[in-house]
Structure 1
Amino acid sequence: MALLALLVLLALAGPVGGTWDTCRGTCGLRPMAFDHSSVVPDCDSEDEDTTLGSSDGLSLLVDGPGVPSGTWPGIVSIQANLENGTWHMCSGALIHPQWVLTVARCFIEAEDTSRWEVAIGATDLAKPGPEYKLRRILRVLMHQNYDADSECNNIALLQLDQPVECSDYIQLGCVPDSSLAVAELRTCFIAGWRASPGRAPTTGVALQEAKVRLIDVQLCNSSRWYGGAVHPQDLCAGYPRGGIDTCQGDIGGPLVCKDNVGDFFWLVGLASWGRGCSGDKRPGVFTSTQHFHTWIQVQIGLVPPITAAPPPKPKPTIHTFEPEPEPESDTFITISFPKDILLRFFKNLQDFLEFLRDKMG
């Protein structure tokens, strides 16, 4: 599967000048993180931390200092520079040295993104560290069929004004293609930004994480859950009885799952919407990145857009000297000869061949 991850990235990203070498031709790596699968609380475990089910609606871990630096090197903070300060608007995932994958909902009411920025390589925006990079947004590519009312096709791409170099703190996310059985992945995480009370809108934001499980979409879409509101291109993740979920401020945040064989993570979803936070039978709904794999490649320019096949060229007309059939007659013409004429013909032909043989013999 490690080779598969490399092939996926080669198909999705492609080289971009000298920045490609710094990514070592791989994606989904977490070089600064240890094995979190046994450390991050599982909501369904018997020793569940009751703070995960608190009623304040902030269902990621909000009381801690945040995750260690470099824990999730693919997540980014998308920020708006406004007159009253710099605000964290939503999250995204770096999938290419110059492209960020996020959700269209983040930009549905944005009038001018020229002053927006993308913070990369930091977990605590108050203390971003030496690997922290800031890029402006060159352009926003929202899905052409995005519906703000139903959140259908809730996905977007951001082209950065300059590419970034990969490091221990900045890595690319692996977008799976149709060959990956996403439903079979068992170790999954969500991450989001949380602002501490009394601190500045951006400088007080730290990255938090939580362990989740993928939930069958049919169950998630049943009458007692979301009642058909989940689209085929969506995923559900969390727990049936709630307790851990994305919430306000987590929009566009990545849903990542560890590969069942290789030591890397797949970027399988982006936080899209939900009803409330961490409620019973109300898990988070995520845009499935796998569903939009080809769309992503087309937008980045790695594959040509899919167009309608051109009409077939007319076949050349071949003129023959065969007599045309009479109207309403068979296409094939049958010509018959009397039997005695045919016998004389073949007898003369045989005599002629014997004559030639004697002359040449």
Structure 2
Amino acid sequence: MKIISFEVIVLSMTIICIVTPTLGQFVGRFEDSQSRQQCFTPEQIRGTCMALSDCPQVTEVYNSTDDSVGTEHVLFLHRNCGSRSVNGDPIVCCTRSTTKSQIDPTPNPDITNLILSQISTTPRTHTRGQQCLTPEHHLGTCVALSHCHQLTVVYNFRYDRVGTQYVLALHHSCGTRSVNGVPIVCCTRPSTTTTTTILPIPEATSTTTTTTTPQPTSTTTTTRKPEQTSSTSISPPIDLRLNSCLLSPGVYGECIDIKRCPSILNQLREKGNDPVLVKFIKASNSLCDNVGQNVCCPTEPGPRRLPTEKEGCGEPNLVSYRRIVGGDEAMKGAYPWIALLGYGDISLSKFKCGGTLITARHVVTAAHCIKHDLSFVRLGEYDLSTDTDTTHMDINIVKNVSHSNYNKTDGRCDIAMLYLERNVEFTDIMKPICLPNSLSLRAKTYVDTNPIVIGWGNTQESGRSAKILRQLTIPVLENSVCQNSYKAMNLSFSLNQFDKAILCAGILAGGQDACQGDSGGPLMTSEQLDNGEIRFYLIGIVAYGYGCARPNIPGVYTSTQYFMDWINDKVREMP
């Protein structure tokens, strides 16, 4: 069997793999515009439903029309998005989108006209531990099939020819080698433990492929401990990347404690003696490896873009909102996007940093707040001394990403993104803030304005942290003020330490400032929209200072304006 062969085009110094399409068999049963939905590939990689023409890595697989593996694989991606089409363009599950405008400013509907050259390919001879590429150009490692749980799950469903042939293609990517009778495959998430019930790889014929330069990957840190892989005889399969589980075809969930799964918990309270429900809960627990009281809780797809003003971001609680004239206790519910970062066990409630909710699934904070025991985020909190003031919510963090250029010495690029275990249901005390995402707000200067900083940090240097959320209005200064102040204390470590990546803010007379425990929290300003409504925008993240509220030493804040592209990229990379 011949595996996918590729043709190469060169456009604007970019190499793009592509070949001739025939869209006939992909035309769906009906057309609609709701294409941007979450989906999964046969390898259980999370993607987004979009037009085939906007997904070049799938287009190139499909265009190998003489290759049944490529054709059926793309058919699977089409079916996984409901076999739908938009304006005759089939919708497929795409893991790494690139719009036509990014590929070619004057796209030609006849894709064959874009082919500038064709290269012959030779089989690879990868061995275990070497890097490889999946048919969709995801970087992987050649490992034994028994060490690649997500592939054994796909392959063992023998009734699915697409799954079988897809794993076969990944076997070819590593040179069709085997070790002790176990085939070597290209795996994107290899495991250190083996899976069982692995069926033998069938014999195949010659293979052709190409060498493609993989795209650089960013460094991420996960806070969850690795889960033990389960036998692939379990049905439906479990995706262990994010404690995900598959309830039924196209319906995914998260393995979490039943007490944190309202949809199942409410049913249990209403009809706890129903034998059908009891059986369902037991089956749901087995999908989560029978761990504690965990169940496979249905979840909605995570957002992949920032919310807009029309969608309610940055909307203050109208009852609570008022202009601040000095540091004092905030009103309950005034800032529903404020987050506390919890470390260690949730029951111990150890909070050391703050953060800001920016979507239903993302919290932005400071990179220096990322520690090995960072585990959860608390939303809706107000008074830490009591559990009765508000209905707060603790949500596990499944992944965190610090800026790759974060410098611990000079504090530059002190920004990180937290990915939550599940979507936040917005309420009056839990909703996201806006960000300065428009061109006008990105270019705006906030010098001589008076934004607000909030948090539960120390009320004085070396003092105790506040129990009730506090707020303070501080002026934004020229960055040169911070540069001169810190240079005078021998705390200037690089030429770009005080460039446009930071905001300098503080009361030079001293006495009021952000302090220890406020790190990662928001510096925010209000803007009036054209319709007269007020919205809050996150313009800074509490980064560092020298002491607390000392005269002539303002605080340093990471500028969200400067990092808007990074923020948008990380939101799109929703796991």
Using the size of structure 2 for normalisation, the TM-score is 0.41
Render the CA deviation track for 1:48-78: whole Å, top value 9, x for unaligned: xxxxxxxxxxxx54xxxx4222011111001
What amino acid sits opposite 1:73 in the alignment? P
What is the aligned counterpart of 1:103 among 366, 384, 387?
A: 366
Deviation sequence 1:320-357 (CA, Å, 0-9, x none): xxxxxxxxxxxxxxxxxxxxxxxxxxxxxxxxxxxxxx
In angstroms, what is the RMSD of aligned CA positions? 3.2
Q: CA–CA distance in 1 between the matches of 2:569 and 2:301?
A: 23
Distance 1:33 1:274, change over 3 A: farther
Residue 221 of structure 1 aligns with an amino acid whose one-letter code is: Q
Say yes or no: does 1:298 pair with 2:569.
yes
**Residue identity matched to 1:183:** Y
1:77 lines up with 2:340 in the alignment: yes
Partner in structure 1 of residue 453 of structure 2? 190
- 1:33 and 1:19 mapped to 2: Cα distance? 30
**Aligned match of 1:91 in 342, 345, 354?**
354
Contact 2:397–2:420 (CA under 8 A) maintained in structure 1: yes
Post-superposition CA distance 1:77-120 (Å, at most 9, x none): 0111359933111000000000000011001xx2244xx21110
- Residues 1:40 and 2:40 aligned together: no
Per-residue CA deviation, residues 292-343 of structure 1 (Å, 9 max, x unaligned), is 111111112179xxxxxxxxxxxxxxxxxxxxxxxxxxxxxxxxxxxxxxxx
Using the TM superposition, give the Cα deviation of residue 169 of structure 1 relative to its aligned residue in structure 2, in angstroms: 0.7
Indicate conservation of the 8 Å contact 2:336/2:430, yes or no: yes
Higher gyration radius (CA)? 1
Give the percent of matched residue pairs that are identical in Structure 1 and Structure 2: 27
Q: 1:122 to 1:33 in 2, by over 3 A?
A: farther
Tell me, what secondary structure is at the counterpart of 1:220? helix
For 1:260 and 1:205, locate their aligned partners in 2 and report how far apart those are by CA, in whole Å.
Answer: 31
Residues 84 and 302 of structure 1: CA distance in aligned 2, closer, same or farther (over 3 Å)? closer
What residue in structure 1 maps to residue 537 of structure 2?
266
Matches within 5 A, 1:170-209: 170-177=430-437, 178-180=439-441, 181-183=444-446, 186-194=449-457, 205-209=467-471
Letter in 2 for 1:209: Q
The corresponding residue for 1:255 is: 523
Give the unaligned 5+ runs of structure 2: 1-47, 49-298
SS for the counterpart of 1:291 is coil
Q: How much has 1:196 moved relative to structure 2? A: 9.1
- Name the amino acid aligned to 2:314: G
> Which gives a bigger RCO, structure 1 or 2 (Cα 8 Å, sep 6+)?
1
The answer as to 2:301 corresponding to 1:30 is no
**Structure 1 residues 1-361: aligned runs within 5 Å:** 17=300, 25-37=311-323, 39-41=324-326, 61=328, 66-82=329-345, 85-107=348-370, 110-113=371-374, 116-125=375-384, 126-127=386-387, 129=389, 131-177=391-437, 178-180=439-441, 181-183=444-446, 186-194=449-457, 205-222=467-484, 229-259=497-527, 262-301=533-572
User: Does the aligned pair in 2 maintain the 1:139–1:160 contact within 8 Å?
Assistant: yes
Conserved? CA contact 1:196–1:205, under 8 Å: no
Distance, in Å, in 1 between the alignment partners of 2:346 and 2:538 is 34
- Residue 231 of structure 1 deviates from its aligned partner by 3.7
* 249 and 169 in structure 1: CA distance in 2 versus 1, 3 angstrom threshold: same
Distance 1:32 1:129 in 2: 19
Structure 1 distance, partners of 2:515, 2:482, is 17
Match of 2:525, SS?
strand
CA contact (8 A) 1:76 1:118 kept: yes
Paired with 1:83 and 1:26, the residues of 2 have a C-alpha distance of 30
